[in-house]
Amino acid sequence: DSDFASRSDVYMYVTSIHWAMAQITLGAIELVASNTWERIFNICLLFAGLIFSSTFVSSLSATMISLEMRTTELNRRMRLLRQFLFQERVDTSLALRVRQQAENRLRRPPKLNVTDVDVLGILSASLRMELHYDLFKTHLLTHPLFRLWSHLSMPVVHELCVESVHFEYLESDDEVFAAGDVCDRASYTVQGSLRYLQ
């Protein structure tokens, strides 16, 4: 008490703040700072610790909640599929294959296509055309016809990229077309391989 009585008012107030911060941040340790500047430094560190710990805990909580929501949604969808297969009395081996493929595809994050990103719709037409061309030019210009076309009229190739070319992401065992389908497009394999069965 006699030690504190000889200290200045500033030191006493800073000591009070230091003590309060130590209680808030669970850093309640013996106050051993010997002057005002040491106490101010300790307060700053306690405050930084408070901010860091609260930010870390909140981000960890948000991540855990997001993961829990995704898992719950996956389980709900799979339960609905199992219920449907049971209700319709689907053959057991076929139902097992359906469930396995559905679960594999649900667990994999889907590839984003240009149409999935709605923000691209607010871009100017010229910038959107340039973006589409940049996305598809590597694959489009490997074909001799389109390479010649790009030398003759680049604006037409830009428009072709916007209006007619798009990526289609297929999973294993997906069908590109079936027997009897009307041909309304041409497909060009960029990655992977296709198997033609007749």
Tell me how far apart the alpha carbons of residues 194 and 57 are, in angstroms, rounded to a whole number. 48
Q: In the predicted model, what is the mean pLDDT of residues 45-68?
A: 88
Write out the two tokens for 65: 């909640």
The domains of the chain are located at 2-107, 111-198
Q: Which one has a higher pLDDT value, 173 or 131? A: 131
Write out the two tokens for 146: 């389109």
Predicted local confidence at residue 14, as pLDDT:
79
Q: In the predicted model, what is the mean pLDDT of residues 45-74?
A: 89
Predicted local confidence at residue 3, as pLDDT:
65
Write out the two tokens for 121: 């719709």
Is the distance from CB of 27 to CB of 19 less than 8 angstroms? no
Q: Residue 25 pLDDT more than 60? A: yes
What is the residue-averaged pLDDT of the chain? 84
The tens digit of pLDDT for each residue in 81-110 reads 999 999 999 999 999 999 999 998 898 888
The tens digit of pLDDT for each residue in 101-156 reads 999 889 888 888 888 888 988 989 889 888 988 888 888 888 888 889 888 988 88
pTM (predicted TM-score): 0.54
